[in-house]
Amino acid sequence: VSEDTKTDTLSDRSVAAVAEFIKSGRAKQIVVMTGAGISTAAGIPDFRSPNTGLYNNLARLDLPHPEAVFEIDFFRYNPRPFYVLAKELYPGNFHPTISHAFVALLAKKKLLRMLFTQNIDCLERAAGVPPELIVEAHGSFATQRCIDCKTPFPDAEMRKCVESASPPNCVRKECGGLVKPDIVFFGEQLPNTFFANATVPREADLVIVVGTSLMVHPFAGLPRLARDGVPRLLFNMERVGDFGTRADDVLYLGECDDGIRKLVDELGWGDELEKMWVEL
Ligand code: CNA
């Protein structure tokens, strides 16, 4: 065994070895971390994939630079590009992927300690992951408020405004500020639930990371919180973060749905997962 393949906890650095680890009953507190890559197979583009990513396709929105669509100062100046994007991403237009269903299956089997997601598409909820096990680190489209006086804005009205990509104003006429869904823009504070649960990855006995470039902080720091000897499994098109530097890191580089199917087949859960998924 070369230095490279030496492990502490797993029999080797393979998806099969992680399945073996789960089957042995040693993974009961699984922490999952996800990003836009888990939803690309649902038809929602991610940010940074070359050619298909949103950053590549925002030119038509007339932005000074792509990130401006999620900058609060630019939003004050021109909220329309954000609303054009919101219309595309709005929950209800997409079906969860098999990878989303896998997280729900872990919860069903009482193996999911927590899911941290950077996504704002609400597909984790749609897949049946219990809301109390989800930390939406970058907020969601579930609620919205005025960016000035913070007065909440009604859901039904919001849906209409997003459908027509027209930015609404505060319900308090004397305020009139712009209304924004409670998704986190650059430079904005993450929700309290993120900070309240930020040390949970330290309690994990297995960490699974799916479809994220791990470029956005503080989320990007979560996988590093796993204790030494805790296996970390990555399903992503590319190597990200510090994955590969630890003895029990397992990297599946490719489509996450393919990797997840491989894992569940090794676990003998394949039929159960496919059934759960088609019934969503
Ligand atoms: P990102 O920076 O675009 O990275 C996505 C990562 O996923 C990249 O490393 C890709 O290689 C990888 N990837 C893409 N497709 C697949 C696939 N099918 N299988 C495996 N890997 C794949 O996105 P992050 O989530 O890391 O960036 C954080 C931002 C993106 C968050 O603030 C999100 O709110 C935001 N975002 C969310 C959505 C959504 O809600 N679905 C969509 C686009 C952007």
Quote the pTM value.
0.93
Q: Is the CB of 53 under 6 A from ligand 1?
A: yes
Q: Name residues whose C-beta falls within 8 Å of residue 247's C-beta, 6 or more positions apart in sequence.
A: 6, 7, 8, 9, 229
pLDDT over 60 (residue 3): no
Q: Is the CB of 48 under 6 A from ligand 1?
A: yes
User: To test ligand 1's pocket by mutation, which of 46, 54, 89 has the most ligand atoms within 8 angstroms of CB?
Assistant: 46
Q: How high is the ipTM of this complex?
A: 0.96
The active-site residue, picked from 65, 95, 100, 138, is 138
Strands (E), 176-248: 179-183, 206-210, 232-236
Q: Which of 173, 169, 172, 147 is nearest to 158 (CA)?
A: 169
Query: Any catalytic annotation for residue 138?
Result: yes
Residue 2 — pLDDT band, cuts 50, 70, 90? very low
List pLDDT tens digits, range 59-84.
Answer: 777 888 888 999 999 999 999 999 98
Confidence (pLDDT) at 65:
85
Q: Are 79 and 70 in contact (CB under 8 A)?
A: no
